[in-house]
Amino acid sequence: MSVNIYVGGNSWTIRPLTIRQLSQIQKVLNSDQNNIEKSVDILKIGLSRDCSGVAADLDNIEGTLQEIDAAAGAVLELGGFLRQEIENGQEA
């Protein structure tokens, strides 16, 4: 299962995460960074395999906090860190 993420008018598709990406995300989640830094780092990790150029230049992309949080949330959900939303008693 892949996910599409959107930030600042850009969209990217992220394939299922690798074990290395999952490990990197876990380290970010356990860090003392503030929430914005965590969201950006999670997004960079998610983009690192399929869109490495974008991940390296992500700090220069214009986007809102809501877009960044939604994109990071999608990466976390893809990796199994967040449960999928429940609809009608079943996982979506």
Yes or no: say if 47 and 61 are a contact pair by the CB < 8 Å rule.
Answer: no
CA distances, 69 to each of 34, 42, 89 (Å) = 13, 10, 26
Q: What percentage of the chain carries pLDDT values higher than 70?
A: 90
**pLDDT (tens digit, 9 = 90+) per residue, 23-36?**
999 999 999 999 99
User: What are 41-50's pLDDT values in tens digits?
Assistant: 999 999 999 9
Task: Map out the domains of the chain as residue ranges.
Answer: 3-91
Mean pLDDT to the nearest integer, 11-17:
96
Q: Are 14 and 43 in contact (CB under 8 A)?
A: no
Which distant-in-sequence residues (6+ apart) come within 8 Å of 36 by Cβ?
65, 68
Q: What is the pLDDT of residues 57-90, one digit of tens each?
A: 888 999 999 999 999 999 999 999 987 654 545 5
